[in-house]
């Protein structure tokens, strides 16, 4: 009887852990990160241009890079730009202006969720 109880208890805990999974990216967490990590000092969320491209309406658009090529601003582009800020430079902006910042996958996903939300 005691073994059966322990087995049910362990299975219940495993099901609960599996159901919870990893936290969903949240725009609110991304907004907080943008402030804490300094992103908002260079990227605006309105139509003003600072020393980096504004985030308002950015997601899903095509942008021109300094080399003349076009790229769609999607998750893959944003992930690359966060992890390797000098890989692709938007036309009119300076290489080296954005520092490399160490962020977890969860933080990157939350930051992307925030960037998506300011375009709506």
The per-residue DSSP string of 36-102 comes to HTTGGGT--SSS---SS---TTTTT-EEEBTTS-EEE-SHHHHHHHHHSTTSS-BTTS-TT-SPP--
What pLDDT does residue 1 have? 65
pLDDT at 14 over 60: no
Which tokens in the block code for residue 53? Answer: 């491209």
Over the stretch 103-115, which tens digit does the pLDDT of each residue have? Answer: 999 999 999 999 9
Which tokens in the block code for residue 34? Answer: 């943008």
Higher per-residue confidence, 14 vs 54:
54
Task: Assess contact for 75 and 112: CB atoms under 8 A.
Answer: yes
pLDDT band at 119 (very low <50, low <70, confident <90, very high): confident
pLDDT at 10 over 70: no
Mean pLDDT value of segment 26-40: 96
Q: Which domains does the chain show, CATH number per domain?
A: 25-117 (1.10.760.10)
pLDDT at 17 over 70: no
What pLDDT does residue 73 have? 98
pLDDT at 19 over 80: no
Element (H, E) at 118: none
Over the stretch 39-94, which tens digit does the pLDDT of each residue have? Answer: 999 999 998 889 999 999 999 999 999 999 999 999 999 999 999 999 999 999 99
Query: Residue 118: which of 40, 66, 50, 19 has the closest Cα?
Result: 40
The 10 Å CB-count burial string (b at 16+, else e) for 26-36 is ebebbbebbee
Task: Assess contact for 58 and 115: CB atoms under 8 A.
Answer: yes
């Amino acid at each position: 009887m005691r073994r059966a109880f322990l087995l049910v208890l362990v299975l219940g805990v495993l099901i609960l852990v599996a159901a919870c999974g990893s936290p969903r990216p949240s725009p609110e967490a991304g907004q907080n990160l943008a402030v804490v990590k300094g992103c908002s000092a260079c990227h605006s969320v309105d139509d003003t241009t600072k020393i980096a491209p504004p985030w308002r309406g950015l997601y899903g658009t095509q942008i021109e890079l300094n080399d003349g090529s076009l790229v769609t601003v999607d998750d893959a582009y944003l992930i690359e730009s966060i992890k390797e800020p000098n890989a692709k430079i938007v036309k009119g902006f300076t290489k080296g202006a954005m520092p490399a910042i160490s962020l977890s996958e969860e933080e990157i996903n939350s930051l992307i969720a925030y960037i998506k939300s300011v375009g709506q």
